[in-house]
Amino acid sequence: MAHRRLPPLRALEAFMRIVRLGSARAAASELALSPSALSRRIGNLEDFVGKKLFTRAHQSMQLSDEGRAFFNAVAPHMDALALAVESQSENLRLIRLHLGVLPLFGGQRLFPRLAELRKLHPRLHLDIDTGPHLLDRVGDTLDAAIVLMREPDPAYHAVRLDHNRVHAICSHDLVAEIGQAPDIQALSKQTFLIHNELPDSFVAWKEALGLVGLEPAAIDHYDSGQLILEAAAQGLGIAIMHDDHFKRASDKRLARLFEETPVESPYSYWFICRPRALEQRPVRLFHDWLVDAGL
């Protein structure tokens, strides 16, 4: 059987880094190469495949159409090769991901699926952090985080995990008391429960229902979505939360107020990491699983 020629693996590694980091400069820094040495590696790979993988202009390298097609064809096999080597390597240690997660997302969406991740990548273990200021700690004490926010800073690599609608959620007794027609006088006597991560959701909800002038009796702020839902179930107020939170809670004590009125949320859940962190194996494994799993 004839042996197929393999491409120069160091050149292939350089190519993959440039594409995934989105920058030749960042790739050179990661590989501890000079720009000219990186360029030579790419030149060797282009000679091997007989295609121009990048266009070069003004000291920058832009992926060509042929380069994009090459990446799409090769990337799955590179990942499969890494997994194959990992599965046959008895001396590999556990790999750890330091992940920041909001507790409600963790309880409702992440933990019910983590057994799938463990089966797929048994060496990958997660250190979970539900502390404050998750975004500020990404790239420092956290490898990545799942946060609830508007549009993230373009300095991060970000994947939007959902689109949401805002709902007013409360006990059945409170729904019966208020009724299903928005009444600003009735609502002004109520307490509203607002999550610290969703400050503008109440504004969006009031605007959509034509209640811009609503001033409730009180607004209570929480840093835990789970506790907001429990407070609402206990009749302590009206929680302004995402419809997805309501559905996944499956709490028969809760009901939606004015449920026929759709209100688009200003916020989504996002997976966030620093771009160069995608080259770290635990981040890449979790990122790819999260996207494929459709959490």
CATH of the domain at 73: 1.10.10.10
Token pair of 92, please?
A: 């590999």
Coil, strand or helix at 63:
strand
Range of the domain at 136: 95-156+271-293
1 within some domain: no
DSSP bridge pairs for 63? 54
For residues 179 and 255, state if they share a domain: yes
For residues 75 and 119, state if they share a domain: no
For residues 261 and 289, state if they share a domain: no
For residues 137 and 282, state if they share a domain: yes
For residues 141 and 275, state if they share a domain: yes
Return per-residue pLDDT of the chain as tens, 295 residues.
455 677 888 888 888 888 877 778 878 877 778 888 888 899 899 999 898 998 887 667 788 899 899 988 888 888 777 667 666 655 556 889 999 999 999 999 999 999 999 999 998 999 999 988 899 899 889 999 999 999 899 889 999 999 999 999 999 999 999 988 899 999 999 999 999 888 999 999 999 999 999 999 999 999 899 999 999 999 999 999 999 999 999 999 999 998 767 799 999 999 999 988 888 889 999 999 998 888 8
Q: Residue 281 class from Cβ within 10 Å (0-12 exposed, 13-18 middle, 19+ buried)?
A: middle
Cα–Cα nearest to 254, from 183, 177, 190, 168: 168
Rounded to the nearest 10 degrees, what angle do helices 9-21 and 65-87 cross at?
A: 110
CATH of the domain at 170: 3.40.190.10
Entry pTM: 0.67
109 within some domain: yes
For residues 74 and 108, state if they share a domain: no
For residues 288 and 196, state if they share a domain: no
Cα–Cα nearest to 22, from 156, 184, 181: 156
Number of domains, the chain: 3
